[in-house]
Structure 1
C-alpha cells in the first residue's frame, strides 16, 4: 500500500512543478489559461501522462498542445532539475476539457 501513496505523492509533486514550468514557457502558441488537471506517473518513473486543460476554441487548444509537445524535452529537463528523482519521466500531454465542460454545465444550470 505504501507504494501507491509514494507514486501519488510523486505525481502531485510533478503536477505542481509542471504547472510552474508551463507558466514560465515563452511560446506564443500557448495561451494564458493553461491548467494541469492531473498527472499520472508510472511506477518505474519513466513515463508520465499529463492532462492539460486549455481554455479557448479548438484551434487554441490544438496550438497549445503542439507547443507543449515541442517543448517536451525542455519541460522534462526542467522537471529533472527541480525534483530529485531517480528517473525523470517522459511526458505525454493529453488535452482535458473537464474544466470547460464544467463551466458549460454551470452556464446551463444558471439558465434553469
Structure 2
C-alpha cells in the first residue's frame, strides 16, 4: 500500500478513534482529557498502534492505556461502523513518549537557566570585526 494511502488511513483512524472515545462506558479518564496523538497501522491493516497522551500525569495515563487495551474490541466495532477498510485493525494502545520527552527537555532547560547555567556563546557580528588598519603594524 502506498505511503500516501497509509498516511490517510492513519489520520482517518486517529480522527475516528478520538470521536469514538466518547462512546465508551466508565472510562477512568474523561475522553476529552485523552488525546490520540498518532496511529501507526501495519501495511496489511491487521494491527494499529495507537499513541495517546493524558494531561493528568503518569498514573492516569497508565489507567487510560490499560482501560483502552481492555476495551479495544468495543472501540474497533465502533470504528468499523464508520470507517470502510478491507480490515479493521486490532488496536493496541500506548502512551506517547514524545510529549513526555519534550516536557523533560523543557524542565532541564529551565533548571539550567535557574542555576545560572551558561547559555550558548553569542556569535560575533561579522561586520564588527577589526579592520586591518586597527591591527598593530610593527
Is TM-score (shorter-chain normalized) higher than 0.5?
Answer: yes
TM-score bracket relative to the smaller structure: 0.7 to 0.9
Aligned to 1:46: 46
Tell me by how many angstroms 1:107 deviates: 6.4
Q: TM-score, normalised by structure 1?
A: 0.83
Deviation at 1:101, TM superposition (A): 4.3
1:68 aligns with 2:68: yes
**Cα distance, 1:3 vs structure 2:** 1.1
Aligned pair 1:30/2:29, yes or no?
yes
Question: Scaled by the length of structure 2, what TM-score is found?
Answer: 0.69
Where does structure 2 lack aligned partners over 5 or more consecutive residues? 114-138
Cα distance in structure 1, aligned partners of 2:27 and 2:36: 18
Over residues 77-110 of structure 1, what are the superposed CA-to-partner deviations in whole Å (9 max), with x where a residue is unaligned? Answer: 1111110111000011111143344456556667
2:99 maps to 1:99 = yes
Change (3 A) 1:25 1:105: farther
Task: Identify which of structures 1 and 2 has the higher relative contact order when contacts are C-alpha pairs closer than 8 Å and 6+ apart.
Answer: 1
For the Cα contact (< 8 Å) 1:53–1:98, is it kept in 2? no
Greater Rg, structure 1 or structure 2? Answer: 2
Task: Describe the SS at the equivalent of 1:62.
Answer: helix
RMSD (CA atoms): 2.0
Gaps of 5+ in 1: none
Between the two proteins, the alignment pairs up a number of residues equal to: 111
